[in-house]
């Protein structure tokens, strides 16, 4: 049984969240709190597997509460619950940077009145179950004998083609993983970057702004019909799929609201598939932390077109399902911890000649 603590200053929201959670027999709400101070007191006495935490509360807000929780409960999953507003998005991303694990957007009053709660309920339950089961698995595992990271082994031969585009796919844990990577991407990065992060509207614009503030490259929320330029990173907007297409002789970003794939819009599969169609062997894709299998089919399209796929090592993911699906399918040519990914990706893009030589040698060894 996954035991949850619900923290929100609204009695109505606490009841709404509790009812949604307890509709699944695998989840038990073991307590609730009206603010962060009360939550911390309850955490000291309750066994809790997951915390659902409001962003804006009196006395102690969500960001400060996350910091306090992390001081005493380093690995306890904390899911932020925020309003679908620009302010809510900004505070939520700050909470993620402070140590929160994931987030859900509160349903609007109109959605509640119209009984359009199914999508919110499904998202909430999926995240609580995924994070709660991760805690349960971790508690059953023996502590590692050493902290040395084993040497990663290639799963397939890397592409010999020079990368012409870099793409990221991510979900749960993605904002912080992307922030870690973009701090190490230089301003003179010679190819465009495309990002599909599972996020609602407004959140993706704030994510792009935050990545731009910490990176040398120019990160923007993608717009329809904008020419693709090297040194720019394009974040798929919430509720839109991001693809590329030709207008005359120019490659441009394109947005659409086609049906969700893998229950996601934006979907990583859609982006990867589009890039494989236009860049062919020039795609270098990286699948980061996330829940579900989004990105696995798109990664196969990239590999079939001659491109390369790198995956974040599952043991460094908040939720490892997305990269695990790619790894298990044999589509990743390299699996690396988050801390080593940026240098590897930059090396492949900035030194394609040397990379092709090392890739060719690797391919010959595996023959």
Q: List the domain range (segments joined by +) for residue 117.
A: 2-139
Last residue of a domain, one of 139, 174, 198: 139
User: Is residue 132 domain-shared with residue 177, that is, in the same domain?
Assistant: no
Q: Strand, helix or coil at 223?
A: coil
Higher pLDDT, 62 or 298: 298
Q: How far is Cα 201 from Cα 206, in angstroms, rounded to an integer?
A: 10
| Within-domain flag for 66 | yes
User: Is residue 128 domain-shared with residue 267, that is, in the same domain?
Assistant: no
What per-residue confidence (pLDDT) applies to 219?
97
User: Is residue 86 domain-shared with residue 177, that is, in the same domain?
Assistant: no
Q: φ, ψ for residue 176 (rounded to 5)?
A: -70, -35
pLDDT-derived band at 86 (thresholds 50, 70, 90) equals confident
| Within-domain flag for 238 | yes
Contacts of 61 (CB under 8 A, 6+ apart): 36, 55, 91
Is 241 annotated in the active site?
no
- Token pair for residue 366? 């595996």
What per-residue confidence (pLDDT) applies to 155?
59
Distance of CA 8 to the CA centre of its chain: 25
Give the active site residue among 171, 281, 308, 321.
171
Please count the structural domains in the chain: 2
User: Is residue 180 domain-shared with residue 131, that is, in the same domain?
Assistant: no
Average pLDDT over residues 141-156: 49
Q: CA angle at residue 134 from 147 to 94, to 5 degrees?
A: 85
Looking at residue 119, which CATH number applies to its domain?
3.40.50.2300
| Within-domain flag for 145 | no
Residue appearing with tokens 């995924």: 130
Give the active site residue among 8, 49, 102, 294.
294
Classify each residue of 160-169 as buried b or exposed e, where b means 16 or more C-beta atoms within 10 Å of its C-beta. bbbbbbbbbb
User: Is residue 133 domain-shared with residue 220, that is, in the same domain?
Assistant: no
What per-residue confidence (pLDDT) applies to 118?
83
Strands 250-256 and 241-247: antiparallel
Is 294 annotated in the active site?
yes
| Within-domain flag for 90 | yes
User: Is residue 99 domain-shared with residue 229, that is, in the same domain?
Assistant: no
**Count of Cβ atoms closer than 10 Å to residue 325 Cβ:** 20
User: Is residue 313 domain-shared with residue 197, that is, in the same domain?
Assistant: yes
Looking at residue 327, which CATH number applies to its domain?
3.40.50.180
- Of all residues in the chain, the percent with pLDDT exceeding 70 is 87
By the 8 A CB rule, do 349 and 166 touch? yes
Give the active site residue among 32, 54, 90, 198.
198
pLDDT tens profile 41-81: 999 999 999 999 999 888 888 999 999 999 999 999 999 99
Contacts of 337 (CB under 8 A, 6+ apart): 149, 312, 313, 315, 316
User: Is residue 134 domain-shared with residue 237, that is, in the same domain?
Assistant: no
pLDDT tens profile 90-136: 999 999 999 999 999 887 665 555 556 788 899 999 999 999 987 76
User: Is residue 180 domain-shared with residue 134, that is, in the same domain?
Assistant: no
Last residue of a domain, one of 103, 122, 139: 139
User: Is residue 173 domain-shared with residue 133, that is, in the same domain?
Assistant: no
What per-residue confidence (pLDDT) applies to 148?
43
Select from 306, 238, 294 the least CA-distant residue to 270: 294
User: Is residue 134 domain-shared with residue 191, that is, in the same domain?
Assistant: no
What per-residue confidence (pLDDT) applies to 160?
73
pLDDT tens profile 194-237: 999 999 999 999 999 999 998 989 999 999 999 999 999 999 99
User: Is residue 114 domain-shared with residue 212, that is, in the same domain?
Assistant: no
């Amino acid at each position: 049984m996954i035991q949850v603590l619900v923290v929100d200053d609204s009695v109505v929201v606490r009841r709404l969240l509790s009812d949604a959670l307890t509709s699944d027999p695998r989840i038990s709400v073991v307590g609730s709190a009206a603010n962060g101070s009360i939550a911390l007191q309850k955490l000291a006495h309750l066994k809790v597997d997951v915390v659902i935490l409001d962003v804006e509360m009196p006395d102690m807000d969500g960001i400060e509460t996350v910091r306090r929780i992390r001081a005493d409960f380093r690995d306890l999953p904390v899911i932020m619950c925020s309003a679908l507003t620009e302010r809510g998005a900004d505070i939520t991303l700050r909470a993620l940077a402070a140590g929160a694990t994931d987030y859900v957007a509160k349903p609007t009053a109109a959605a509640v009145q119209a009984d359009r709660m199914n999508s919110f309920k499904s998202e909430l339950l999926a995240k609580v179950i995924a994070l709660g089961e991760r805690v349960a698995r971790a508690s059953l595992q023996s502590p590692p004998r050493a902290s040395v990271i084993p040497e990663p082994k290639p799963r397939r031969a890397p592409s010999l083609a020079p990368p012409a585009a870099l793409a990221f796919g991510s979900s749960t844990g993605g904002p912080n993983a992307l922030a870690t990577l973009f701090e190490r991407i230089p301003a003179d990065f010679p190819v465009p970057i495309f990002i599909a992060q599972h996020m609602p509207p407004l959140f993706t614009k704030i994510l792009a702004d935050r990545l731009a503030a910490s990176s040398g490259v120019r990160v923007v929320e993608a717009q329809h019909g904008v020419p693709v330029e090297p040194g720019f990173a394009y974040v798929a907007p919430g509720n839109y799929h991001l693809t590329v297409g030709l207008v005359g002789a120019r490659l441009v970003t394109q947005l659409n609201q086609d049906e969700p794939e893998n229950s996601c819009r934006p979907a990583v599969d859609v982006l990867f598939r589009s890039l494989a169609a236009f860049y062919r062997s020039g795609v270098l894709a990286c699948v980061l932390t996330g829940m579900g299998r989004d990105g696995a089919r798109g990664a196969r399209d990239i590999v079939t077109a001659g491109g390369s796929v790198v995956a974040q090592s599952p043991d460094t993911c908040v939720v490892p399902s997305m990269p695990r699906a790619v790894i298990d399918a044999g589509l990743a040519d390299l699996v690396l911890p988050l801390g080593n990914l940026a240098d590897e990706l930059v090396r492949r893009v900035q030194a394609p000649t040397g990379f092709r030589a090392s890739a060719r040698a690797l391919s010959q060894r595996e023959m």
